Structure formats: C-alpha cells, structure tokens
Amino acid sequence: MLEKTYPYYLANRPQHPNADLEVRDKYSGKVATRVAVPDARAMEKAIAAAVKATAPMRAFKPWARQAVLEHCVARFEQRRDELALALCVEAGKPIKDAAGEVTRLIETFRIAAAEAVRLDGETLNLELAPRLDGYHGFTKRVPIGPVSFITPFNFPLNLVAHKVAPAIAAGCPFVLKPSEKTPIGALIIGQVLAETDLPKGAFSILPVGGKEASPLVEDERFKLLSFTGGQIGWDLKARAGRKKVVLELGGNAACIVDADQGGKLDAIVQRLVFGAFYQSGQSCIGVQRIYAHASLYEALKKKLVSATKKLKAGDPKKKDVFIGPMIDEAAAERLHGWIDEARRAGATLLCGGKREGNMLEATLMEGVPRDAKANRMEAFGPFALLAPFDTFDEAIGLVNDSDYGLQAGIFTDRLEHAMRAWDELEQGGVIVNDIPSFRVDNMPYGGIKLSGFGREGVRYAIDDMSEVRLMVMRRLA
C-alpha cells in the first residue's frame, strides 16, 4: 500500500510542511496519496545546500559513493513490490511493465555503483619534439559541481535513476524536480538515499510545478541541467545560460521490416505489438511508424491487426492487462483528435480508435498522410501507422522523413542493409533485428534533430557530470 502522505526532500531530509499535492490513481481517478509541496524558500535552500555540498561531495571517496549506490540496490530489491505498485497507481502502468521498470531501476544503480570506482584518467605523451623532452601529461576526472534534473511522468523510476545514480557516482550534488503527476517513485528513492551517509545537501527532491522550477534552469550556480520531456526543452536550453545542457525530447520512432523477413513475421509482430503499445505507448522510443516491404505488407498487416485486437485493456493492477490508461484525459483526447484528423484526411483505421476518458484503444492505421500530426509528431500513446515500401532506398527515406531522430529499428538478414541503416538513418541509435524501443541502461541513449542532444547511459552521464583536469609534469635534469 502507498503511504497516506509523502514528504519532499530538502538537503537529504524529509520535509512535511503540507500535503497540498494530490496524486491520483490514473485508472480510477481517485486520490491515492498526497505529497508535500515546497515553496520558493525551499528551492533556494536546496540550491544553497547543493552549492555548500560541492566540496564534501568531491571529497566523498569513490568507494563511499559505490557503497551508497550498493545500499540503494539492496533496498530497492527489498521494496520491489512497493515500487511496482506505486508505478502502477501513479502512472497507470500495467503491473508487469511496472515490475520491469523496477528491475531497470536496480540495474541502473548497480551499473553506476561499478562505474563509481572507475573514474580513471589517462597518461599523455607530451614529448612530441626536442623542446618537450622531460614533459609528461596526466588527466583525471573531477565532479563538475551542483547539477539540476527535471524528469517526466512516463518512467518515474528509471528516468530519475538515469540522472540520480550517475550524479552520485560522479560526486555531484543535485536538485531533482520529478513530474507532479508521478512524484512517488522519486520520493521513495529519496527515502532510501536519506538512509545513507551522503554529505548534507547532496540531494534535494522537490515536486514543484513548471514555473516554480525556473531556478533549476536559470540559476548559474548549477553547472549542468539534464531535462527529459517535450519540446519545451528548447526553451529551457535558451534560458540555461552558461551551464551544460542535456536534452532528451522524444521521437516518433520508425521500424523497417525488410523483404527477406517473410518467414519471421510471427516473431516480428510480437515485438512490434509490444513496442507500439507497452505502457499505452507512452514511451519516447515506442514504435509509431512501421514500414514493411510491399511483398509482405499485407501478411504483416493481417497479423498485426489480429495481435493488436487481442490485447486486453483495463485496470493496470490486473496481471493480464496490457493496455492501461494514458496519463490523463487531456493526453488521450489529444491523440484521439489526431486519429480523427488522419481519418478525415483519407487514412484507414485498421483497428482501435475509440476513447473513454483517459483509456484509448490500441490503434493501427494505414494511409496516414505525410503531413498529418499522427505521422509528423510524437503520438505518445497507443498508436502506430503502417505503410509499404518497394525499395530499401525508399525505406531509408521514409524513416528520415521526420523532424525527430531518437532511435529506429530494422528487421533484416542482409548485412549490407543493416550497415546502410547505421550509416544513413538520421537517428541517435539503430537497433538491428529488434524494435527501436530496445534500451539497455549502460548504452549511449539520446537523439538528434528535435529529439534533443547529449547522451544518457550511466557512463555517458558521468562524463557530462565531470570535467577533465590536466597536470603537466616536467622531469628536471
């Protein structure tokens, strides 16, 4: 069961000044719990505490950072069921998907624990000319300083983990703003961090609104802003000043099914259905655009429609439910409007398309016009479109005909096509023989174009949160 109320965390300590934020069960709509909301004074105290913690965190030894992260791993293991239930309630995430996200939370912290003691430098050969005889260069990585994080509602545990765990491993104090729609997962992480001996001020977790979060973007005391969310990220970047900025801003991921895959359609359909509709399609790398070779298009379409119609929708707490609610009715209404718009423009509805409140049926369409919102923009819901192609050049062009570029998938047995996809697809990552929704938490993850820039993945995030410091030593005769 969830607790009746949750505190926010200021300089490592829980604070209970109020219970003003209602967190609703996304399926029933009922208030599930309440959360304390910080004010502007608390925000300023959190930033000041992070600045004050900069030196103690830098002095906090790698083995000690590793011990903190390992403690988190152990405690998350013990609280698996609680964490999964919190996700199921606050995000409407089907319980199987919620359990999977808890596993990824644990894996991300485990990876960060290993990396915490690998913050190595390098030896540089400076003896490049006679005048440089006796000179040697060395580098080491040092923490960049206080960092700020803003995370969205769709992965309330793992997207928080991808910012928090590397910050601890790198030795950076942080202030985190989780989504007000799904703050509980982050606050449970805060409970666990509060059990450790992190230096005072090493972390604050503040579930504030967007306007109230402005200091996390604009305050020059922060040395890095990491934001995961929508296109508002570009505005945040413009306001961020001199600090580093990492943005992950979504996508409309495409997947190619090549001509040689006719004997594998059942397995491919299983993956495509998962990629398009898991957690009601609310994933930045959910499968939105499916391009199949004309020779197998009709067969693939038939199997996809059949499999999609079999997906059970309903209460996400039930283990056999695959399609749960979208985050709120406004999100479902938006995507439902895009579906209707595509139909009016000539697209064909293959299955789904009905909405009741924040429940939207798993929907497949074909013939969606190139300029339709359902094609050009990020659906972020249980929706995918199908289209055929005749040549591989055409398939590459269809995938690249997008303002986004996060990840793409291709099913093919032709090495030439796999390599061409890697070379020519305008994406941050290309997944061969699986869906673009595939992600492992140590790999470099991020995109180009409107999908943002910078890379997550524990090692890459640590690199962003540290800087190289050089020493040159001269050997005197």
Residue from 90, 115, 180, 248 carrying the catalytic annotation: 248
User: Does residue 248 have an active-site annotation?
Assistant: yes
Which tokens go with 450?
């409107």
Q: What is the DSSP string of 316-364?
A: TTSTT--B---S-HHHHHHHHHHHHHHHHTT-EEEE---EETTEE--EE
CA nearest neighbour of 439 among 430, 448, 450: 430
- Pairwise CA distance, residues 89 & 262, whole Å: 40
CB distance 464 to 224 below 8 Å: yes
CA nearest neighbour of 438 among 410, 412, 396, 403: 410
Strand partners, 474: 135
Can you list the alpha helix ranges (DSSP code H) found in 194-291?
Answer: 214-218, 233-239, 265-277
- Pairwise CA distance, residues 162 & 227, whole Å: 11
Distances in whole angstroms, Cα of residue 5 to Cα of each of 12, 180, 326, 410 = 18, 14, 24, 46
Q: Rg (Cα) of the chain, in Å, rounded?
A: 24
- Pairwise CA distance, residues 224 & 59, whole Å: 20
Strand partners, 389: 293
Residue from 90, 115, 284, 456 carrying the catalytic annotation: 284
CB distance 410 to 417 below 8 Å: yes
List the catalytic residues: 248, 284
